[in-house]
Amino acid sequence: VTKLKNTYSFTSLDLIKMNERCQESLKEIYHLSYLIVCKLLSEIYEHIHCLYKLSDTVSMLDMLLSFASVCTFCEYVRPEFTDTTAIKQGWHPILERIALGKPVPNDTFMSEGNNFIILTGPNMSGKSTYLKQIALCQIMAQIGIEGPGYISLTYGSLCTLFLH
């Protein structure tokens, strides 16, 4: 009989022996589990390249399915590539999904001689959303996805895109 603070413990030699056997069995289970996991991991490592390839393939398929879904169910226009970037009545594609109604369409025009925009307005008026809309639509066009626009979308090919 032992007393620790407000608790009492009662034990016997038989209980102590059973507890020791239980602890030894538990150690053996942990050891065998460790060996099995190590063997399994070594077999997985031999074929890990297949898992990586499968993951890449599934992610590519998911991306293509998402693109096809967007192009099928949304009112998007196939972009054309010219020397200028002109978005007529375009809108932010993500805002379209989270907003309650249709986003307000915006026009954008940029060319070699007109490649700088000064955008002003009060706080929360949509300046950042407008800039992100242009960038996102440009990226979507360059990777081959139709973009949001009621009338037409024409894009110039860009190597870099700067926003601030």
Task: Looking at the structure, tell me whether residues 42 and 81 fall in a common domain.
Answer: no
Question: 152 pLDDT exceeds 70?
Answer: no
pLDDT in tens, 96-108: 788 777 788 888 8
| Predicted pLDDT at 23 | 96
The answer to the question of residue 51 being in a domain is: no
Task: Looking at the structure, tell me whether residues 39 and 84 fall in a common domain.
Answer: no
Task: Determine the Cα angle at 57 with ends 56 and 61, to 5°.
Answer: 120
The answer to the question of residue 13 being in a domain is: yes
Question: 28 pLDDT exceeds 90?
Answer: yes
pLDDT in tens, 5-22: 888 888 889 999 999 999
Task: Looking at the structure, tell me whether residues 85 and 41 fall in a common domain.
Answer: no
CATH code assigned at 81: 3.40.50.300
Task: Looking at the structure, tell me whether residues 38 and 82 fall in a common domain.
Answer: no
Task: Looking at the structure, tell me whether residues 100 and 39 fall in a common domain.
Answer: no
The answer to the question of residue 67 being in a domain is: no
Select the more confidently predicted residue: 36 or 148.
36
- Domain containing 127 equals 76-155
| Number of independent structural domains in the chain | 2
The answer to the question of residue 136 being in a domain is: yes
Tokens (6 digits) for 5: 């603070």
| Predicted pLDDT at 49 | 94
Measuring CA to CA, which residue among 78, 79, 74 is closest to residue 97?
Answer: 74
Alpha-carbon 4 to chain mean position: 54
pLDDT in tens, 31-81: 999 999 999 999 999 999 999 999 999 999 999 998 888 888 887 888 888
Task: Looking at the structure, tell me whether residues 83 and 39 fall in a common domain.
Answer: no
Task: Looking at the structure, tell me whether residues 83 and 142 fall in a common domain.
Answer: yes
The answer to the question of residue 127 being in a domain is: yes
Query: Measured between alpha carbons, how far is 56 from 48 in angstroms, rounded to an integer?
Result: 12
Residue 90 — very low, low, confident or very high, per pLDDT cuts 50/70/90?
confident
| Contact status, residue 53 vs residue 128, Cβ threshold 8 Å | no
The answer to the question of residue 69 being in a domain is: no
Task: Looking at the structure, tell me whether residues 91 and 151 fall in a common domain.
Answer: yes
Task: Looking at the structure, tell me whether residues 37 and 97 fall in a common domain.
Answer: no
pLDDT in tens, 107-139: 888 888 887 788 899 999 888 888 888 888 888
Task: Looking at the structure, tell me whether residues 93 and 141 fall in a common domain.
Answer: yes
Question: 4 pLDDT exceeds 90?
Answer: no
| Predicted pLDDT at 163 | 66
